Amino acid sequence: IQKLIQTTSSLNKLKMDLLDVFKKYLVIDEDGLECLLKNEEERNVGLSISIPVKKVKKRVNVFDED
């Protein structure tokens, strides 16, 4: 169970990191965001994210660390 908790925590961190990257390039509808963590077997865990995109940002500062 501890390993599953660690895996779930890591996937939640990954989800947040991915969302931060998407937000650099897209305006997203966070209220419509759907995230699913699946644990089918002890060694197989999946992360599925549905991100409603409102618009694509025209100018992106790739050096912006915010």
Q: What does residue 4 show for φ and ψ, rounded to 5 degrees? A: -65, -40
| Position 39 confidence tier, pLDDT thresholds 50, 70, 90 | confident
In whole angstroms, what is the distance from residue 66 CA to residue 54 CA? 20
Spell 37-62 as b/e; 16+ CB within 10 A means b: eeeeeeeeeeeeeebeeeeeeeeeee
Residue range 37-43: mean pLDDT, rounded: 71
Proportion of the chain above pLDDT 90, given as a percent: 30
pLDDT at 4: 60
To the nearest 10°, report the CA torsion of 22, 47, 54, 20: -30
pLDDT at 48: 83
Residues forming beta bridges with residue 7, ordered by sequence position: none
Residue range 36-43: mean pLDDT, rounded: 72
